[in-house]
């Protein structure tokens, strides 16, 4: 009877090994971004301030998502889908635009211009044309200055 148990656990062990090697094989076939996203879902949310800061900058400037952030949980896909400009707003959320704007407005007052909005969009290395398109979208959605972009526009894709 003991022998039987041992044999079964050995079979299970072998089974796991096969599954593991199959996964490696599959992951070589899928695109890199898909692979990273799939792996990210199982990764914990990072908590260290230094790592969070690095992740925010990586996403903002390079558009590369390497770790999960608590902020990611705020995103509401159903809400975003209701807005005609949901794709652009989702892009800005994922690139940490609103997150950075919130940081700026926590430290400085809004001067009723797009001062920080422009600064951040430029840091994101977007073209002038793209920046102007985004500002039009903000205006249309009730964001005519930095603080209104944060309060009226970010709320269209979170919560």
Residues near Zn ion (CB under 5 A): 110, 112, 145, 147
Q: Which residues contact 17 (CB under 8 A, 6 or more apart)?
A: none
Q: Which residues contact 29 (CB under 8 A, 6 or more apart)?
A: none
Residue nearer to Zn ion on the CB measure, 147 or 158: 147
**Distance in Å, CB of 115 to Zn ion, minimum:** 10
Residue nearer to Zn ion on the CB measure, 99 or 138: 138
Tallying the residues shown for the chain, one arrives at: 159
Residue nearer to Zn ion on the CB measure, 9 or 113: 113
**Distance in Å, CB of 146 to Zn ion, minimum:** 5
For residue 59, give the nearest of 105, 86, 30, 91 by alpha carbon: 91
**Distance in Å, CB of 121 to Zn ion, minimum:** 16
């Amino acid at each position: 009877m003991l022998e039987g148990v041992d044999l079964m656990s050995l079979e299970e062990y072998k089974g796991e090994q096969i599954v593991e090697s199959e996964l490696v094989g599959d992951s070589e076939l899928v695109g890199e971004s898909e692979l990273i996203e799939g792996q990210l879902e199982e990764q914990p949310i990072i908590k260290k301030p230094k790592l969070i800061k690095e992740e925010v900058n990586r996403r903002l400037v390079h558009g590369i998502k390497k770790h999960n952030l608590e902020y990611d949980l705020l995103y509401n896909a159903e809400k975003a889908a209701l807005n005609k400009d949901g794709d652009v707003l989702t892009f800005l959320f994922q690139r940490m635009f609103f997150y950075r704007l919130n940081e700026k407005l926590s430290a400085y007052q809004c001067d009723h211009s797009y001062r920080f909005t422009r600064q951040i969009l430029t840091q994101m290395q977007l073209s002038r044309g793209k920046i102007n398109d985004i500002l039009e979208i903000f205006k249309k959605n009730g964001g005519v200055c930095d603080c209104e972009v944060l309060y009226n526009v970010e709320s269209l894709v979170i919560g």
